[in-house]
Structure 1
Amino acid sequence: MADYDRSDEDRKAPVRVLSRRTIAVYAWLLLILAGVSSWLLLTHFGDGSEASKTRLDSIRAVGTIVLGAGGAVGLLLAARRQRTTEQDLVEKRRDLALKQRAQVHAERVQRHAEQVAADTQQLQLKVAWDTAVDAAARRVTELFDTAVDKLGSEKAPVRFGGLYALERLAGHAPDQQPAISKVLCAYLRMPYLEPGDIPGPDTDDAVLARYERRREEREVRLAVQRVLADHLNPRINTSNPLPRYWPNAAIDLTGATLIDLDWSHCRVPGENVSFRNATFTGSTKFSSTTFTGDAQFSGATFTGSASFDNATFTSEGRFSNAVFTSDARFNRTTLTSARFDLATFAGGAWFDSANFTRFAYFGRTTFDQTACFTKVTFPQDAPINENQLNDSASRNRQDAVPTNQKSTFISARFSEATFTGSASFDEHATVDLFGAQATLAVPGAVLGLRHEWPRGWAVRPQATKSATSKDSGWGILVREHLATSD
């Protein structure tokens, strides 16, 4: 930068340049002066005397000095011209540097202006986006509130409108699926009374109106069940479900009344799906359904047939204290951890080819009719954390379970179960039946029905708490060597 700074002399007024006219006048003056000088010398000192020669030599010396001075003047002029040239070069460099500085400054100003414009545009886009998001959120909230209000209407058509408005909203706003599914489940958990028989022609108007309200409510509940079933079914496969599938649904149907529920081929998401104390009226179908987390059916009542064929419980399937009033089918079902303690199977219990991968607990379970466990895969002496068993399990007689390691227990337990009908197990099934009760004479024996116990187990006649003699028709499951010792 110092190379382009001007000195104090350079900061003065610019040097005046001699014009061509001035140079020509000076040249003519020099020629006239030379001519006059030559004429004067020839006139006064041209006589050839010694004095004249001496004067001429003096004049010659003076002329030489004058010529030397002229040469010095010429050198001075050349130096001045060189300085002027260099000064012009410096000026050009300075101008170039100024232009470059101006260009750099202009570029900086341009970049700054562009950055400001970009930041402004980005801010505007962000403000616009935030405004749009806020508007969309407000719109979703308004639609959600409106649909929920409609779902709570006293008029069935309005409730239908609210239901399908929530369904459409869940499709457009997937983040609302948990809230919407919770609302639908809450609706099914509301108290419900069956319509009853169709009133006769002479029925009172109030009774007719009540029947019609209950019939309409039944239709609305069936529609809610269908909506949930429709959006819990991946349809293609679990790795590439259709957009209609609700992977974020939250299912809590504790204490709900469910009518002819058909969730076959569904994939029920959530770490804990609850059907505790629910009442399933009519037929219930969970065929080929997958539960991705714990499935709680404790205390549930199935008033009709219940089908869990080919279902998959990836975590725990708990049916403690459940009541099956008709046939219950778990054929080819995969259960990681199964709890059926204190459950009642009033109809047939079918577990053909079921697969219990971790443990199966049937403590104090009641089988009033056929209990079929043929081709069932039970875990072989799998370690069980005692915390996984409830108090009734911990009270079972573990000293009757044959094992070589204190920390290992047979994982399929039927301790104190009751088999009223025929019971069928594979010959080599590894299960604990100690203390289970079974009938000595199988109902339907004339049809070929009979008990088929695993090898090593037998029924020893024994009076039950309600009977006083061994011929009461009941026996208790014990190891064969204990049965023969009596």
Structure 2
Amino acid sequence: MDLFPRSPRPFTQPPELRPPRSMWWWALPAALLIGAAAWGTAAWLLQDLGKLPPGEQISARIEAFRTALAAAAGMGAAVTLLLAVRRQRHQELTAAHTAHDAAERRVTELYTKAVEQLGNEQAPVRLGGLHALERLAQDAPALRQTVVDVICAYLRMPYTPPADGTPPAEPASTSASARRDPHEERQVRLTAQRILAEHMRYHRPASHRWWQSRPADPSFRHWPDMHLDLVGATLIDFNIGSGSVGSAWFDDATFIGAAVFNQVTFIRDAGFGKAHFTDDASFYKATFTRRAFFGKATFSGEAAFSRATFHGPAGFENAAFAGTSSFSRVTFTNAALFAGATGLERAELDRVRLAPVADALPRVWPLAWHVEETADGWQTLQLASGPEDGQLSKDGGPGSDRDDTQGGP
């Protein structure tokens, strides 16, 4: 059973509950309306009274007044009914606000308790806190970014992974953080990463004809447009493949083990400045909608950017590639800066696509790369054939994006 009842718009704020007004705002108009009904009915019935014989005028007058009183009584009943409807509506709004406030208090209590569990020195308690936060965010969309922020903050806490083969040891310190066994803490952190990865993952719903039943949404657990702040975090075998992220900041982060960002869409900025990838890093078919910054990042293993698309500026200034690197079929549609990047002399550059850009947008490539024109007006990158090829840039210097036969800017 779900933590809270599911509805199309859970935790929707109920309509505003206005304070009741003074009785005069409805009593006086109601009295005037009743009087007008009685007077109008009587005047209408008595307008031809003079045409009747004198003997029938008295009885006609009595019947007219009787009918006028009945009309006034009917109007009074209508006013009473409207007041009853208003009272019922006010009671329903009061009940909705009471239920909403109770749900909000319950959510706050559960959130507070789950966060307290994350600070517990026992690993099972911390795991329970993570799963409680996940369940809470799944049922309360308004809290999803808050829960993501809490999980990211937990991953940003200082952590030293245990050396391989090191058995769990009881630390001598009595502080809560020092009493945490590093092997157990590793499992807690892996669980936190899996929660983020699962809810960042997005699969487009399958198309269907109008007469076919709508298939189940494969991304009903996706949390859209989330902001990930993992600056300085220590991440282990991090994998958010096929994800969709609002913005992501991994500056100064340390990736232990393989880091997988395959087919991830970064809706806003993505920052990996000074990040350290201790093993392979894969950005296969990743889409960077806005700025992508890898300045001073260190890639110790293979760096794969094959089929990635950079719609915004791409910055790889002073990045260090110690292993093999692949930029095959990468598309750059904006500025690209590789000034000072090292280790790209043997990078794979098969079918790289460079969109035509204005001269104001800089493009600086490594020394070993040069630009070639293609038949469709775009450009591509190739490894330089000799040491005479200079650094490529948009400033009109040696080996710039412009044709070498052209003059200065």
Q: TM-score range by the shorter chain?
A: 0.7 to 0.9
Q: In the aligned structure 2, how far is the partner of 1:2 from the partner of 1:111? A: 21
- After TM superposition, the structure 1 = structure 2 runs for residues 142-221 of structure 1, keeping only pairs within 5 Å, are 142-199=109-166, 206=171, 213-221=181-189
**Within-5 A mapping of 1:238-317:** 242-269=219-246, 272-317=247-292
Report the CA distance shift for 1:377/1:478 in structure 2 as closer, same or farther (over 3 A): closer
For the pair 1:362 / 2:362, whether they are aligned, the reply is no
What is the deviation of 1:248? 4.5
1:231 aligns with 2:199: yes
The one-letter code matched in structure 1 to 2:229 is: D
Q: Matched residues in 2 for 1:375 and 1:170: separation?
A: 43
| Pair 1:143–1:206, CA change in 2 (3 A) | closer
Match of 2:326 among 336, 350, 360: 350
Aligned residues: 336
Deviations 1:47-71 (A, max 9, x none): xxxxxxxxxxxxxxxxxxxxxxxxx
Change in Cα spacing, 1:418 to 1:3, as seen in structure 2 (3 Å) is closer
Task: Give the secondary structure class of the aligned counterpart of 1:459.
Answer: coil
Cα separation, 2, equivalents of 1:169 and 1:274: 24
Partner of 1:9: none
Partner of 1:452: 383
- Matched residue, 1:121: 88
Contact 1:177 1:248 in 2 (8 A): no
Measured after TM superposition, the shift of residue 3 of structure 1 is: 8.9
- Quote how far apart the aligned CAs of 1:251 are: 1.2
Match of 2:22 in 1: none
One-letter amino acid matched to 2:148: S
2:68 maps to: 101
Residues 347 and 369, structure 1, Cα contact 8 Å, conserved in 2: no
Change (3 A) 1:88 1:186: farther
Q: CA deviation at 1:222?
A: 0.5
Change in Cα spacing, 1:4 to 1:310, as seen in structure 2 (3 Å) is: closer
Among 338, 350, 365, the alignment partner of 1:374 is 350
* Higher alpha-carbon deviation: 209-218 or 361-370: 209-218
Q: Which amino acid aligns with 1:108?
A: M
- In 1, the alpha carbon distance for the partners of 2:82 and 2:399 equals 87
- Equivalents in 1 of 2:248, 2:132: separation in Å? 25
**CA-atom RMSD, angstroms?**
3.3
Seen in structure 2, the aligned counterparts of structure 1 residues 265 and 2 have a Cα distance that, compared at 3 Å, is closer
Letter aligned with residue 330 of structure 2: A
CA spacing shift, 1:123–1:410, aligned 2, 3 Å: closer
Measured after TM superposition, the shift of residue 247 of structure 1 is 1.3
Superposed CA offset, 1:428-486 (max 9, x none): 478899xxxxxxxxxxxxxxxxx832xxx852399xxxxxxxxxxxxx9758989xxxx
Question: Paired residue for 1:335, among 305, 310, 314?
Answer: 310
CA distance in 2, matches of 1:131, 1:114: 26
Comparing both structures, which one devotes a greater share of its residues to helix? 1
- Tell which structure's C-alpha radius of gyration is larger: 1
Q: Matched residues in 1 for 2:43 and 2:280: separation? A: 101
**Is the Cα–Cα contact under 8 Å of residues 301 and 322 in structure 2 kept in the other structure?**
yes
Q: Is the aligned partner of 1:111 residue 2:78?
A: yes
Quick one: which amino acid aligns to residue 367 of structure 1?
A: G
Partner of 2:38: none
Determine if contact 1:254/1:276 at 8 Å carries over to the other structure.
yes
CA contact (8 A) 2:232 2:254 kept: yes
Tell me the amino acid that sits aligned with residue 452 of structure 1. Answer: L
In structure 2, the CA distance between the partners of 1:211 and 1:366, relative to structure 1 (3 Å rule), is farther
Residue 219 of structure 1 aligns with an amino acid whose one-letter code is: Q
Alpha-carbon distance between aligned partners in 1 of 2:206 and 2:245, rounded to the nearest angstrom:
11
Moved more, 212-221 or 90-99: 90-99
Amino acid at match of 1:252: D
Task: Confirm or deny: 8 A CA contact 2:199 2:223 kept in the other structure.
Answer: yes
Question: 1:115 is aligned with what amino acid?
Answer: L
TM, length-normalised to structure 1: 0.63
The answer to whether the 8 Å contact 1:148/1:162 transfers is yes
Name the structure 2 match of 1:30. Answer: none
Residues 320-331 of structure 1 mapped to structure 2, 5 A cutoff: 320-331=295-306
Alignment of 1:458-469 (within 5 A): 458-460=386-388
Provide structure 1 residue ranges, at least 5 long, that are not aligned to the other structure: 6-82, 384-407, 434-450, 463-475
2:138 partner SS:
helix
In the superposition, the TM-score normalised over structure 2's length comes to: 0.74
Any conservation in 2 of the 1:345–1:367 contact (CA below 8 Å)?
A: yes
